[in-house]
Amino acid sequence: MSEAQVSKSEVSPSLVRGSEAWSVSEAKKIYNLPFNDLLFQAQTIHRRHFDPNSVQLSRLLSIKTGGCPEDCGYCSQSVHNPTGLKASKLMEVERVLAEARKAKAAGATRYCMGAAWRGPKDRDMDVIVAMVEGVRSLGMETCMTLGMLSPLQAEKLADAGLDYYNHNIDTSERFYSEIISTRTFADRLETLANVREAGIKVCAGGILGMGETTDDHIAMLVTLANLPVPPESVPINMLIPIPGSKLEAAAPVDPIDFIRAIALARILMPMTHVRLSAGRNDMSDEMQALCFFAGANSIFVGDTLLTADNPGEDHDARLFRRLGLKPMALDAAE
Ligand code: SF4
């Protein structure tokens, strides 16, 4: 075994983070292991905590599209990116529930609702709360992504029974200001702290392929793993370069680097659901298979992800059959 194989999570699989932080140099050693060693280690840890052939299925709905005042360089919904996307108003609760019923019938156990906001306005909170309560009453897990949250807003969502709140850190602290200027990395961490404090589970990840280095991938994952409690879900996205956005010409991430990042996420955060998120449409089945082997165990299903294309359900069902994968049951999905 190489020395990097003696990772904290290996030594102590039940370790609750916070007692001992990962250092970037430790994480770098793991990330740079020979590929086969890295994947073997990630798969070994994965099997300790999860059924290796189960993948959690989430469905994402845009409940308020476009017109966002933030300037995230990758996003089709920012008013700063002339992508031609038409802005829409907040959806009605009944429409959201009708979509959630369809998602449940198609096997999704978690329903994620996203609004293109800097943060919710207090006047929107009643409608948001009704959506959470309605989706929960269907027997699904709920997740919201609404931008920055104050402690009071987080408490309201917690009282409504919200299971997860998504708020990505996007990239490393070093690279962050290259991508977003309208809110800081520290703002992001503050929202995550408010969510955790309110007792809501945390979903936080990032995007690869925005022009960052592999050191940024490592630093981002170390930041997530070293949160006082690591996120229960970590979505790893591959940039979809949107025409008209600041990152429309970004060079694609090397697929091997992407798979290494998935494996590192699994090793640093053994109990976390690592989600293969945006960009699956541009991944081969073979690349997705390697991501699952490296420890990814959650995907978004459905033809669209907010405003981007996603593999259709037929394609995913075929891929699952070829790989012998099955959807994770709700009780196993936390
Ligand atoms: S906050 Fe969200 S919706 Fe708004 S620009 Fe950034 S990523 Fe897009």
- How sure is the predictor about 305, in pLDDT bands with cuts at 50, 70 and 90? low
pLDDT at 303: 63
Cβ atoms of 158 and 120 within 8 Å: the answer is no
pLDDT at 302: 65
- Give distance in angstroms: CA of 228 to centre of ligand 1: 25
Looking at ligand 1, which residue's alpha carbon is closest to its atom 6? 72
- How sure is the predictor about 11, in pLDDT bands with cuts at 50, 70 and 90? very low
Q: Among the listed ranges 49-53, 74-78, 236-240, 309-313, which one has the minimum average pLDDT value?
A: 309-313
- Give distance in angstroms: CA of 45 to centre of ligand 1: 34
Nearest-atom index, ligand 1, CA of 71: 5
State the pTM of this model: 0.89
How far apart (Å, rounded) are the C-alpha atoms in residues 152 and 46? 36
- Give distance in angstroms: CA of 239 to centre of ligand 1: 14
pLDDT at 244: 87
- Give distance in angstroms: CA of 317 to centre of ligand 1: 30
Q: Please state, in angstroms and as integers, the Cα–Cα distance from residue 11 to each residue in 14, 43, 46, 159, 252, following that order.
A: 9, 15, 14, 37, 35
pLDDT at 260: 98
Q: Indicate which residues carry an active-site annotation.
A: 68, 72, 75, 112, 143, 203, 275
How far apart (Å, rounded) are the C-alpha atoms in residues 144 and 165? 5
pLDDT for 306-322, tens place per residue?
A: 667 777 778 888 999 99
Total residue length of the chain: 334
pLDDT for 225-252, tens place per residue?
A: 999 999 999 999 999 998 989 999 999 9
Give the pair of three-digit tokens for residue 82.
Answer: 């002339």
Indicate the top mutation candidate among 62, 78, 88, 146 to test ligand 1's pocket, ranked by most ligand atoms within 8 A of CB: 78
pLDDT at 332: 53
pLDDT at 15: 34
pLDDT for 112-168, tens place per residue?
A: 999 999 999 999 999 999 999 999 999 999 999 999 999 999 999 999 999 999 999
pLDDT at 311: 75
Nearest-atom index, ligand 1, CA of 183: 1
pLDDT at 306: 65
- How sure is the predictor about 1, in pLDDT bands with cuts at 50, 70 and 90? very low
Give the pair of three-digit tokens for residue 251.
Answer: 């060079």
Q: Is 228 exposed, middle or buried (0-12, 13-18, 19+ CB in 10 A)?
A: exposed
Nearest-atom index, ligand 1, CA of 306: 3
Q: Which residue has the higher pLDDT, 6 or 224?
A: 224
The pocket around ligand 1, CB under 6 angstroms, is made up of 68, 70, 72, 75, 77-78, 116, 147
The predicted model gives 90-116 an average pLDDT of 91
pLDDT at 4: 39
User: Which of 4, 3, 18 lies closest to 269, judged by CA?
Assistant: 18
How far apart (Å, rounded) are the C-alpha atoms in residues 151 and 137? 25
The predicted model gives 59-70 an average pLDDT of 90
Q: Among the listed ranges 55-69, 132-146, 276-290, 299-313, which one has the minimum average pLDDT value?
A: 299-313
Give the pair of three-digit tokens for residue 333.
Answer: 């999905």
pLDDT at 130: 95
How far apart (Å, rounded) are the C-alpha atoms in residues 287 and 86? 33
Indicate the top mutation candidate among 61, 64, 65, 70 to test ligand 1's pocket, ranked by most ligand atoms within 8 A of CB: 70
pLDDT at 14 over 70: no
Largest CA distance in the chain: 57
Summary mean pLDDT of the chain:
89
What crossing angle do the helices spanning 35-49 and 285-293 adopt, rounded to 10°?
A: 60
